[in-house]
Amino acid sequence: MQKPLVAGRPFFTRGPRRTPSLLSAGLLVSVGMTLSTLSQSGWAQAAASDAGATLPAVSVSASKDAAVAQADTVSAGALGSRKQVDTPFSTHVVTSDEAQDLFATTANDLYKYDPAVSVTSDNAISENSMFTVRGMPIDTLNSVKIDGQTFPSWDADLSLEPFEQVELLKGLSGFMYGFGAPGGIVNYVLKRPTDTPYRSFTFGYKSAGVFTEALDLGGRFGNDNRFGYRLNLANEDGNTAEDNGHVRRQSASLAFDFRITPDLTFTADALYQKRKTNGTLFGLMFGSGLGIPDASTVTHALTQPQNYYQTEFASFGTGLDYRLSDNWHASVKYRFAKENRTNSDSLLYVSDNAGNYSNTLYAAMTRYFYQNVDAMVEGKFSTGSIRHDVVMGASFETQTSEYSNSTGWNQGYFLGNGNLYGSTLLSNADVSIGEDLYRQQRTTQAALFASDTLQFTSRWSALAGVRYTQYREHVYDPTQAVTSQYSANPVSPTFALMFKTDPYSTLYASYVQSLQQGGAASNTDVNYPATFGPLRSKQYEIGFKSDHSKWGANLALFRVDQGYYYSNPAHVFVQDGTQRYTGIDASGWLAVTGEWRVLGGVMWLDTKAVGIDDPTIEGKRIYGAPRFTVTGRVEYNPAYLRPLTLAFGGKYVGNQAVDAANSQFVPAYTTFDLSGRYETKIAGKDVTFRAGINNIFNRRYWTTAWGYYVAPSATRTAVASATLQF
């Protein structure tokens, strides 16, 4: 029986359901050029290698003139650090320079031109910026990392200033990182001390009146420059373009290292951030049988003065890295992280096609405490003609969640009624933040892992990896009684076969298994607070990746089978059957001339629920997953004015199901962006000016997530910045 609504409001507790047409010519040309590489000099070098020679080292690094080119290396967890082109997985790395050219403030901005990425919410108007990868959400409590170690990031959009690059691993990550949703891993790599002095200051602006100041300092000191430092400070404050919108953010990070000997290095880092955004909206829930209106017709004044969210977190990490020999090195690292989260934002329940809604505000605190310890040994050796690149290690991780047991968290505060097509000022004097926290959940993971990349010839290689995990999860009620507990001891294997078509390209086939935390019912479900055990996922992928000086391409054909959890039409939260994702993820770039560069990508995705007992769900599309996504971007760097680079880009995202039964859909949308960069010298110092407009045609659209709610998009935004190196 469905739980009744109170005064037109859904009985609702917000919380993450755990693990809860522009086709660029560059894509077509770059993929078409794949076969032509067989006649290039690189092919001759590879053929010589089969006769006993060694492949030449290849290093292709990103530059400001190739702002969207992939960075050379990627951290792959238990695989260590590898060149992207040599890994049998889909990856996308964005450097800090590229992030500035994209005017990125969150990971949503970093991957706006990746066709596999679709936005589910934007922190300009929603709680925080989130996205799906190939239709699968990123798990904000398990799949966000700092230097490869898990970091709590529910509502916590990490400031980008402290990070050298951000790495996206698409798909399953069981062997590399342990438990996690199959959407992928987002790994933030901290900026580390520079060998030569580095100093820069950036001043930025975003409409309607947000100003940012950022300082970045690095260098070395002491005898033989044994000590290194990297300091980043950032401040952001001002009124946003959204109704009732205001943001205030401060972040600070310090990274330190000590070269104890030429072979032994000690590192330590600290990171702190506090961010508060006013004028936020959790989302809108449309009643059964209702259509979802055109987002452009809905008022922008949906938020209320009492709506805001605030996050504060701190992290400390330390480690030792020891080079045992030219071919072997060992490392150990530890990280502690804590997040305090305060939310006071609303869910709007739309009750009829006239757009009438009830506004329920949820106000509470939550806290998260994480600890990670990782030890790893990497080495290379040969057995006869076969070369081995091995990694062995162990890890231990704990996560503790504290939730509020207050009215503001469990039932919320009724603010009043309004209409989607007109502004209404609503408030409730009884609203207060619930601070009566209790330990709601604790999980531990202890793991052993090992892998071997076997190099049979200069072209053929194979990867075999395995991770054994002891997983323990306890869920508590406010009295600290255990309401559910789960334990699992999975063995997660990974296998891959790789073939070098030329020294700069890899054809691969891979298989990955992974385990993730199960789902949990919310108070919109009649079986709240039911929780479920871990889910197993499997991924099959065949791909090709190439990274040349003037063109690059990435192509992946994949299938992911994942256990399915959802709310059925009777509002019962269910964990049953399989959600299957099958698709093609392709992208490429091409330097057409010395002045013009084009980039593009396309994702086609077929999703369906299989093995479901409920006929209203069986065979339906998976919610929140577009069938088709296309991106394109053109960059122009005129020969007569090399300091100037102009760029125009766009993205098309297909329609998406809002719920598991596919009774509601949000329509497709297309957005466009325009930007420019100019590099010069002032008083002998390097200065870079940037300016742009995001969503230049002010397209208003809906995003959707978690199988029941939608959120409006951000408005058109003007951005500008100036960076001085001194």
Among 70-74, 97-101, 304-308, the range scoring the smallest mean pLDDT is: 70-74
Cα-to-chain-centroid distance, residue 384: 42
Mean pLDDT of 34-61: 35
Distances (CA, A) of 281 to 26, 210, 312, 664: 38, 19, 19, 20
Q: Quickly state the pLDDT bin for 524 (edges 50, 70, 90).
A: low
Q: Identify the top-confidence range among 126-135, 566-575, 641-650.
A: 641-650
Which tokens go with 640?
């007569």
Separation of alpha carbons 180 and 173, rounded Å: 7
pLDDT for position 54? 35
Separation of alpha carbons 118 and 682, rounded Å: 40
The per-residue pLDDT for range 442-454, each reduced to its tens digit, is: 999 999 999 999 9
Mean pLDDT of 577-602: 96
Cα-to-chain-centroid distance, residue 331: 26
3-state secondary structure of 480: coil
pLDDT for position 627? 97
In the chain, what are the domains?
60-66+95-725 (2.40.170.20)
The per-residue pLDDT for range 667-694, each reduced to its tens digit, is: 999 999 999 999 999 999 999 999 999 9
- For the purposes of burial, counting CB atoms within 10 Å of the CB of 481, is it exposed (0-12), middle (13-18) or buried (19 or more)? exposed
pLDDT for position 535? 83
Q: Which residue has the higher pLDDT, 476 or 531?
A: 476
User: Does 650 score more than 80 pLDDT?
Assistant: yes
Mean pLDDT of 90-117: 94
Which tokens go with 303?
């938020």
Which tokens go with 284?
């809108």
The answer to whether 690 and 656 have CB atoms below 8 angstroms apart is: no
User: Does 316 score more than 80 pLDDT?
Assistant: yes
Which tokens go with 458?
């200069």
pLDDT for position 36? 33
Planar angle of CA 340, 117, 285, nearest 5 degrees: 60
The candidate with the shortest Cα–Cα distance to 360, out of 289, 436, 439, 304, is: 304
User: Does 262 score more than 50 pLDDT?
Assistant: yes
pLDDT for position 71? 58
**CA dihedral for 105, 108, 110, 112, sign (positive or negative):** negative
The per-residue pLDDT for range 227-247, each reduced to its tens digit, is: 999 999 999 999 988 888 899
CB-hemisphere CA count at 13 Å for 128?
Answer: 21
In this structure, what is the dihedral angle of CA atoms 207, 210, 211, 212, given to the nearest 10 degrees?
Answer: -110
Q: Which residues pair with 252 in a beta bridge?
A: 233, 272
The per-residue pLDDT for range 56-86, each reduced to its tens digit, is: 333 333 333 333 344 578 876 777 788 888 8
Query: How many of the other CB atoms lie within 10 Å of CB of 245?
Result: 24
Q: Quickly state the pLDDT bin for 573 (edges 50, 70, 90).
A: confident
Task: Report phi then psi at 240, rounded to 5.
Answer: -85, 175
User: Does 516 score more than 90 pLDDT?
Assistant: no
Among 60-74, 391-405, 519-533, the range scoring the smallest mean pLDDT is: 60-74
User: Does 31 score more than 70 pLDDT?
Assistant: no
User: Does 19 score more than 90 pLDDT?
Assistant: no
pTM of the model: 0.89
The per-residue pLDDT for range 160-212, each reduced to its tens digit, is: 999 999 999 998 887 778 777 788 999 999 999 999 999 999 999 998 899 99
Q: Quickly state the pLDDT bin for 102 (edges 50, 70, 90).
A: very high
Planar angle of CA 97, 103, 105, nearest 5 degrees: 100
User: Does 55 score more than 60 pLDDT?
Assistant: no
Mean pLDDT of 141-147: 90
User: Please, what is the average pLDDT of the chain?
Assistant: 87
pLDDT for position 490? 85
Query: How many of the other CB atoms lie within 10 Å of CB of 261?
Result: 9
